[in-house]
Amino acid sequence: MILIGQFDSPFVRRVAVAMRLYGMPFEHRPWSVFADAEKIAQYNPLMRAPTLVLDDGPNGGEVLIESHAILDALDQMAIQKLGPGKAMMPASGELRRQAQKVCALATGMADKAVSLAYERHVHRRESVHWVERCLSQIAGVLSELEASRARHKTEWWFGPSIGHADIVVGTSLRFLGDAHAGLFDLSEGWPLLAAHAAGCESLPAFRETQQPFSVSAPASA
C-alpha cells in the first residue's frame, strides 16, 4: 500500500502508526499538500492527506481518503488477517460509541489546530474572531478529553491494549504542541493528557513516524 502525506499531519500520522501496529507494510510518499498538490491530485482531487492507495488484489489500486474511513478499511483487513477482536476499535456497543466519540473529539481538535495554523501562516491577515473561536474549541476539547481519561482507569483509554482513540489523541496532542508551541501547557492544565502523550511518543510506532511541523503554503489572501 502507498501512504501519501507528511508525518507532521496528525491525520497521516494516526494512519501510519496504526499500520505499523497492525504490521501492515506501506510505501511512504511524504508529499506536501501544498508543494506537491499536483502529485496528490492524481490520486485525490481534494489534494488532501492522508490518501492511501491499496495494493493490487480484488480492490487493487483503489484510493481511500479521510483518516477514519482509511482506518475502517484497515480494521477490516486486520480482522481478516489477525482474527476477530483484533481491530483497534471496539466492535460494538457502548465502548465503541465512546471510542468513536474520543476519536471525533481528537480529530475535531486537530482540525481546529490545523485551521489555526493556516490562519496564522497562510492567510495574510488573521481573523481575531476565528482565532479566538479555535482557541476556545481546542481548550474545551482538552478539558473534555482530560475528564474522559480520568474516568477510564485502564492502561490505555479502553483497555489493556492501545486503540485508535489512544493513537489519535497522541498524534493530535503532538501536532498541537508542535504547531502552537507555548499556547497550551498540558502538564499545567491537563496532566492526564500530558502523561498520555508521553506514553504514546515513547512507542516505536510513534518514534518512527515523526516529522517537524512546517507549513509550506505560499502566503496569500
Shortest Cβ distance from residue 5 to ligand GSH (Å)?
A: 7
**Interface stretch with ligand GSH, choices 44-52, 96-104, 189-197, 202-210 (CB under 6 A):** 44-52
Shortest Cβ distance from residue 147 to ligand GSH (Å)?
A: 24
Number of residues that bind ligand GSH (CB under 6 A): 12
Between 118 and 155, name the residue whose CB sits nearer to ligand GSH. 118
Distance separating the N- and C-terminal Cα atoms of the chain: 37
The contacts of residue 145 (CB under 8 Å, 6+ apart) are: 102, 105, 106, 109, 169, 190, 193
Between 12 and 145, name the residue whose CB sits nearer to ligand GSH. 12
- Does 11 contact ligand GSH by CB under 6 A? yes
Q: Which of residues 63-122 bind ligand GSH (CB under 6 A)?
A: 66-68, 107, 114
* Of positions 4, 19, 33, 179, contacts ligand GSH by CB under 6 A: 33
Phi and psi dihedrals of 203, rounded to 5? -80, 145
Between 12 and 205, name the residue whose CB sits nearer to ligand GSH. 12
Look at residue 112 and give its three-state secondary structure: helix
- Does 49 contact ligand GSH by CB under 6 A? yes
The contacts of residue 24 (CB under 8 Å, 6+ apart) are: 1, 74, 77, 78
* Of positions 22, 50, 103, 169, contacts ligand GSH by CB under 6 A: 50
* Of positions 4, 7, 9, 174, contacts ligand GSH by CB under 6 A: 9
Strand (E) positions, 56-201? Answer: 63-65
Cell triple for 42: 492524481
- DSSP string computed for 27-74: EEE---TTTTHHHHHTT-TT--S-EEEPPSSTTTT-EEESHHHHHHHH
Cell triple for 69: 474511513
**Interface stretch with ligand GSH, choices 47-55, 132-140, 144-152, 155-163 (CB under 6 A):** 47-55
Report in angstroms the alpha-carbon separations of 189 from 140, 148, 192. 12, 15, 9
Binding residues (CB under 6 A) for ligand GSH: these are 9, 11, 33, 47-50, 66-68, 107, 114
